[in-house]
């Protein structure tokens, strides 16, 4: 005899609980949304800290001569600014976006390894505190640039370098744990019907990014450990006097460093590929080609590292190989830009704030890409190497590229996250203020670079004075714009017009079509069906 009994609503189970109360919610949380929020706040704080260091740099460079800081401190600022922006602002921001978005985009209830997710976040504040604390140590903080070339970072480095090495190890462990989590989540936890070629491009680009991270992080860990053993344990990996080779350091560093650039830009491609179709009200043009282009960029990123070191004296055949391989990357990158433009072609375009930031990204990232092409040409790079032209190039890629995409992502998804619309008027002011000032900041650096101004110097020849003054004014204005952004962020979190579930008329994807705004603390506890 069998019976089926249907009870009424009986009880709430453990799964239905909301977040804990108080500070411990954030310390012990394993919820992907909470951890995403923590990452994004940490990235914002680090952006302001690294930005403050940039302000010191621009203040000193406002006029020729030494006015405000000692050259040694200036070098510490350039070093920590670079490290904090790369490892503290851009990367954690993308990991924060991945935490928030990957599970709700693929229909998973959370990340695959939630406890590891908590650890990978909470390592970071300690790592950055340790890194920043070097500024207060005897001999000062690291002053050898974010690329920490030997022997500056070994034989001639201050004692605080050991703390820098440990901090880099911690950041690396955090990145690896984050990458493993993203890979395990995307591979194992996609909703029924969510095949690889149906995944949103943000998920795809993050899968590829995570793979890149997995591939290159041991190289970073290895190189800083070899620095440590050279400094304290009598090895000579990078010491010519002991049979080592300082140039090998550059090879190892850039084998990590160049894919690292793509780690910081591939998720941006995913974000732009989500925003442009929404506001063009057309499906993304060439989805498959976007996936293959992302994979090609990742693959090529392993083969071009030495274009950062054309001037070390490599054989011509080597220079030719790295030059051709570098220029080859423009093909898949061009495919992406072409597809975004083709998506917009004859679309019903509107220009809400996220779209403005996305368009800003496309135009200015392309400028950064073109200057990258120029730098990729070996005979020309011999003149450009270590000048402000290089500084202009990578800031167009990382600020108007990566950072603009992160800000675009904030405006695009914040109504979904908080249930509140941001203030459209303030968002547009933020965009135009940032765009004008960022171009004032970085565009003149092309000219001073081409005219021969070296990077990483606190003083310069009088001929560069006007462009540097313009650059500094742009820098202060851009910095202030991001403080204004902080106001917009807080205002949006605290309230605003209620966002609809779909948020944007043209939005697609599980997070917009199947979740309310804001989504419940535990979303997709029942897997959605993807058609």
Q: How far apart, in whole angstroms, are the C-alpha atoms of residue 523 and residue 503?
A: 17
Active site residue 333: yes
Q: Which of 39, 100, 204, 262 is catalytic?
A: 262
Q: Are 365 and 296 in contact (CB under 8 A)?
A: no
Active site residue 174: yes
Active site residue 461: no
Q: Which of 79, 134, 153, 175 is catalytic?
A: 175
Which residues have a Cβ under 8 Å from the Cβ of 168 and sit 6 or more positions away? 87, 220, 224
Burial code (b: 16+ CB inside 10 Å, e: under 16) for 488-497 equals: bbeebeeebe
Q: Are 416 and 499 in contact (CB under 8 A)?
A: yes
C-beta of 243: minimal distance to another protein in Å?
Answer: 9
- Which of 198, 385 has the CB closer to another protein? 198
C-beta of 202: minimal distance to another protein in Å?
Answer: 17
- Which of 121, 404 has the CB closer to another protein? 121
Active site residue 155: no
- Which of 187, 331 has the CB closer to another protein? 187
Active site residue 133: no
Q: Are 360 and 431 in contact (CB under 8 A)?
A: yes
Tokens of 19: 């977040």
Residue recorded with tokens 């679309």: 347
Q: Which of 282, 336, 393, 416 is catalytic?
A: 336
Active site residue 175: yes
Q: Are 512 and 102 in contact (CB under 8 A)?
A: no
Active site residue 371: no
Active site residue 260: yes
Q: Which residues bind another protein (CB under 8 A)?
A: 1-13, 15-16, 112-113, 116, 176-177, 180-181, 183-185, 187-192, 194, 211, 214-219, 221-223, 225-226, 229, 237, 244-245, 248, 251-252, 255, 525-527, 529
Q: How many CB atoms lie within 10 A of CB 338?
A: 14
Which residues have a Cβ under 8 Å from the Cβ of 475 and sit 6 or more positions away? 54, 55, 58, 437, 441
Active site residue 160: no
C-beta of 141: minimal distance to another protein in Å?
Answer: 24
Q: Which of 169, 455, 491, 522 is catalytic?
A: 455
Q: How far apart, in whole angstroms, are the C-alpha atoms of residue 472 and residue 477?
A: 9
Question: What dihedral angle (degrees, nearest 10) is formed by the CA atoms of 102, 202, 290, 529?
Answer: 40
List, in sequence order, every beta strand (DSSP E) within 76-188.
none
Active site residue 262: yes
Residue recorded with tokens 């204005």: 477
Active site residue 39: no
C-beta of 294: minimal distance to another protein in Å?
Answer: 17
C-beta of 26: minimal distance to another protein in Å?
Answer: 24
- Which of 245, 423 has the CB closer to another protein? 245
Q: Which of 260, 352, 381, 511 is catalytic?
A: 260
- Which of 445, 517 has the CB closer to another protein? 517
Q: How far apart, in whole angstroms, are the C-alpha atoms of residue 98 and residue 180?
A: 12
C-beta of 19: minimal distance to another protein in Å?
Answer: 17
- Which of 175, 434 has the CB closer to another protein? 175
Q: Which of 205, 273, 471, 523 is catalytic?
A: 273
What residues are annotated to the active site? 81, 110, 146, 174-175, 258, 260, 262, 273, 307-308, 333, 336, 455
């Amino acid at each position: 005899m069998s019976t089926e009994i249907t009870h009424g609503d009986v009880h709430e189970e453990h799964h239905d609980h909301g977040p804990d109360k108080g500070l411990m919610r954030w310390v012990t949380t394993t919820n992907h949304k909470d951890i995403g929020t923590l990452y994004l706040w940490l990235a914002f704080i680090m952006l302001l800290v690294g930005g403050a260091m940039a302000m010191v740099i621009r203040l000193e460079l406002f006029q020729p001569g030494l006015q405000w800081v000692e050259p040694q401190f200036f070098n510490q600022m350039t070093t920590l600014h670079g490290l904090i922006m790369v490892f503290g602002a851009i990367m954690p921001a993308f990991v924060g976006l991945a935490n928030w978005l990957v599970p709700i985009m693929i229909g998973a209830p959370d990340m695959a390894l939630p406890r590891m997710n908590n650890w990978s976040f909470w390592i970071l504040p300690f790592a950055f505190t340790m890194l920043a604390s070097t500024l207060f140590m005897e001999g000062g903080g690291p002053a050898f640039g974010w690329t920490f070339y030997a022997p500056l970072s070994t034989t001639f480095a201050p004692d605080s370098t050991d703390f820098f090495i440990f901090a880099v190890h911690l950041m690396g462990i955090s990145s690896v744990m984050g990458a493993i989590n993203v890979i395990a989540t995307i591979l194992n936890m996609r909703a029924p019907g969510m095949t690889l070629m149906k995944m949103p491009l943000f998920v795809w680009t993050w899968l590829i990014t995570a793979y890149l991270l997995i591939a290159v992080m041991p190289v970073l860990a290895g190189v800083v450990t070899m620095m440590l053993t050279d400094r304290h344990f009598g090895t000579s990996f990078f010491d010519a006097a002991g049979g080592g080779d300082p140039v090998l350091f550059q090879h190892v560093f850039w084998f990590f460093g160049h894919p690292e650039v793509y780690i910081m830009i591939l998720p941006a491609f995913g974000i732009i590929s989500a925003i442009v179709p929404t506001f063009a009200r057309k499906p993304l043009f060439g989805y498959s080609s976007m996936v293959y282009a992302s994979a090609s960029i990742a693959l090529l990123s392993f083969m071009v590292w030495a274009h950062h070191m054309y001037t070390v004296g490599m054989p011509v055949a080597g220079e030719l190989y790295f030059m051709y391989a570098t220029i080859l990357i423009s093909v898949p990158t061009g495919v992406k830009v072409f597809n975004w433009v083709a998506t917009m072609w004859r679309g019903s375009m509107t220009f809400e704030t996220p779209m403005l930031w996305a368009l800003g990204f496309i135009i200015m990232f392309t400028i950064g890409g073109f200057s990258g092409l120029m730098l990729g040409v070996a005979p020309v790079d011999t003149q450009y190497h270590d000048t402000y032209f290089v500084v202009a190039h990578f800031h167009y890629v990382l600020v108007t590229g990566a950072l603009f995409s992160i800000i675009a992502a904030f405006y695009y998804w914040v109504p979904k996250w908080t249930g509140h619309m941001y203030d459209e008027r303030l968002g547009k002011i933020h965009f135009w203020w940032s765009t004008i000032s960022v171009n004032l900041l970085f565009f003149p650096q092309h000219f001073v670079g081409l005219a021969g101004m070296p990077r990483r110097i606190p003083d310069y020849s009088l001929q560069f004075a006007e462009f540097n003054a313009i650059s500094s004014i742009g820098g202060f204005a851009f910095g202030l714009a991001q403080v204004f952004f902080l106001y917009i962020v807080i205002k949006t979190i605290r309230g605003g017009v209620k966002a609809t579930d779909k948020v944007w008329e043209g939005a697609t994807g599980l997070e917009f079509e199947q979740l309310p705004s804001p989504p419940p603390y535990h979303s997709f506890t029942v897997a959605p069906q993807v058609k």
